[in-house]
Amino acid sequence: MIRYLSLVKGLLFFLLLAVCCNAYAEGSFRDSIKNGKANGELKVWYQTNDKSTGGHDLFDKENSIFDAGLNIGYTTSPWYGFAAAVNFYAVDDLGANGDIANNSAHRIDASESVAWLGEAYISYNKGKSTVKAGRQNIKSPLINSDDWAVFPNSFEALWFQNKDIKDTRITAAYVTKERKIKSDSFEDFAGDNGSLMIGAENKTIPGLTLSGYYYHIRSASDIDSLYFEAAGKIKAVNIAGQYLYFNPDAPGSDETNAFGFLVSSKIGMFDLSGAFTSVGKGTMMAARFSDNGCKTPLFTQTISGDGDIAGATDTDSIKLTAGITPVEKLTLSLSYGYYDHGNSSSASPGNESKSIELTAKYTGFENITLFAAIVNSDHNGVGGWKGATPSDDLNTFRVWASYKF
């Protein structure tokens, strides 16, 4: 953590020094701010289910979630390679609490508004290298800013990327804090010593993308983890494979291995895909380290069958998907996820979980995205997508709308 703060302070000091020592360029510095780019998003998000606890049902406020969000950001134009960006987020219920929805995806207290500075970073670009320090969103298989809710989880980190090697992108990050999807503040990420990520992506072979990541999570267990993926195309068929490895260094802990395959193609007017994944016996689920392991990069993940289901230990999974675009800008997709939990599974030992999901997405209006999903999940009382009892399935309806400006 001390090293991270020192690096951030060093970048700030260098920027201030450059301003002072280049007084003649003051105008161009002002121009970098004046010529920057603003961004924003308005988003409303609603979800309800038929979980019958307490006699409640579909569309009852006790079973429903509503959030309305506003994002406003600004990124300066480059100045001697430097740039800065901020993104401010706010979420409110717009009076829905106590009326149509008593719950929130973001707010600890669903009756209160919440606002936070999700991104605030300085970046420096030189040649084919970029450094970014501060609050930011990160994209990687096991430490990731997920966008399933109104706004993503974000991190305090030092991030580096280099593209000097032909057809290769190298990424490294030192992560110290995270603001989870449902949280009031940025908190230490997996302990107070920071965590390391190093990754590389290569496209030297035409039609083939190879990527690999190493993670060292400096928590009480001191976890080492690997993620590898290969994706390519043979004629009209897309093929991908993945491998995950988790090795916690704690007494009584066992390593976890996972692998998966994905095949997809367009046949006529349909986009078809099939995936298989297998998570071995071990201490850890094959899920992301970020946001409490809510999500997983496994190919068989679905909206409801995610980190705690597809990523559960001792679990073999299948996912089948059929998509169609009946009219321009409208995509319909039907997915079926089947999860076979072994006797040592962290989910429901010796049982099977199922997820059936129908989604619709429309982008036909300028800067507007509309999304709806109907989900049927039978997870034997495991995770957030469970019925009132382990024998009950759960029917869920989700809809959101986004306007970006």
| CATH code (residue 18) | 2.40.160.10
pLDDT digit string (tens) for 65-120? 999 999 999 999 999 999 999 999 999 999 999 999 999 999 888 888 999 999 99
Residue 129 in domain:
yes
- Of the candidates 199, 151, 159, 152, the residue with the CA atom closest to the CA atom of residue 175: 159
Say how many CA atoms lie within 13 Å of 1 toward its Cβ.
Answer: 10
What confidence score (pLDDT) does residue 399 get? Answer: 99
Q: What percent of the chain has pLDDT over 70?
A: 93
Contact 257, 277 (CB under 8 A): no
Residue 153 in domain:
yes
Contact 109, 47 (CB under 8 A): no
* Lowest-confidence pick of 109-123, 181-195, 290-304, 346-360: 181-195
Distances from the Cα of 384 to the Cαs of 14, 105, 316, 387, 394, in angstroms?
47, 12, 20, 9, 10
Residue 200 in domain:
yes
Residue 333 in domain:
no
What confidence score (pLDDT) does residue 27 get? Answer: 52
Helices and strands of the chain, counted as H and E runs:
2, 19
What confidence score (pLDDT) does residue 387 get? Answer: 86
| Number of separate domains in the chain | 1
Distances from the Cα of 343 to the Cαs of 117, 252, 275, 351, in angstroms?
44, 19, 23, 8
From CA 257, how far away is CA 241, in angstroms rounded? Answer: 14
CA torsion through residues 117, 78, 132, 201, sign = positive
What confidence score (pLDDT) does residue 301 get? Answer: 98
Whether residue 190 is predicted with pLDDT greater than 90 in this model: the reply is: no
From CA 48, how far away is CA 63, in angstroms rounded? Answer: 6
pLDDT digit string (tens) for 122-142? 999 999 999 999 999 999 999
pLDDT digit string (tens) for 297-320? 999 999 999 999 999 999 999 999
Whether residue 258 is predicted with pLDDT greater than 70 in this model: the reply is: yes
Whether residue 159 is predicted with pLDDT greater than 90 in this model: the reply is: yes
Task: Name the average pLDDT for the chain.
Answer: 92
CA torsion through residues 55, 59, 61, 65, sign = positive
From CA 62, how far away is CA 100, in angstroms rounded? Answer: 8
CA torsion through residues 90, 158, 121, 42, sign = negative
Residue 130 in domain:
yes
What confidence score (pLDDT) does residue 353 get? Answer: 97
Q: Could you tell me the residue range of the domain that residue 101 belongs to? A: 1-36+63-219
What band does 22 get if pLDDT is binned at 50, 70 and 90? very low
Q: What is the mean pLDDT of residues 256-263?
A: 99
Residue 49 in domain:
no
What band does 170 get if pLDDT is binned at 50, 70 and 90? very high
What band does 7 get if pLDDT is binned at 50, 70 and 90? very low
Distances from the Cα of 331 to the Cαs of 268, 272, 326, 328, in angstroms?
15, 13, 7, 8
pLDDT digit string (tens) for 46-78? 999 999 888 888 999 999 999 999 999 999 999
From CA 68, how far away is CA 387, in angstroms rounded? Answer: 26
Prediction pTM value: 0.91
Q: What percent of the chain has pLDDT over 90?
A: 83
Residue 20 in domain:
yes
Contact 124, 81 (CB under 8 A): yes
What band does 166 get if pLDDT is binned at 50, 70 and 90? very high
User: Between residues 14 and 46, which one has the greater pLDDT?
Assistant: 46
Number of CB atoms found within 10 A of residue 223's CB: 22
pLDDT digit string (tens) for 210-242? 999 999 998 777 999 999 999 999 999 999 999
Distances from the Cα of 115 to the Cαs of 45, 64, 176, in angstroms?
16, 22, 21
What confidence score (pLDDT) does residue 324 get? Answer: 98
What confidence score (pLDDT) does residue 24 get? Answer: 43
Which residue, chain included where needed, has tokens 């991030």? 159
Residue 115 in domain:
yes
Core vs surface per residue 161-191: b (16+ CB within 10 A) or e = bbeeeeeebbbbbbbbbbbbbbbeebeebbe
What confidence score (pLDDT) does residue 29 get? Answer: 77
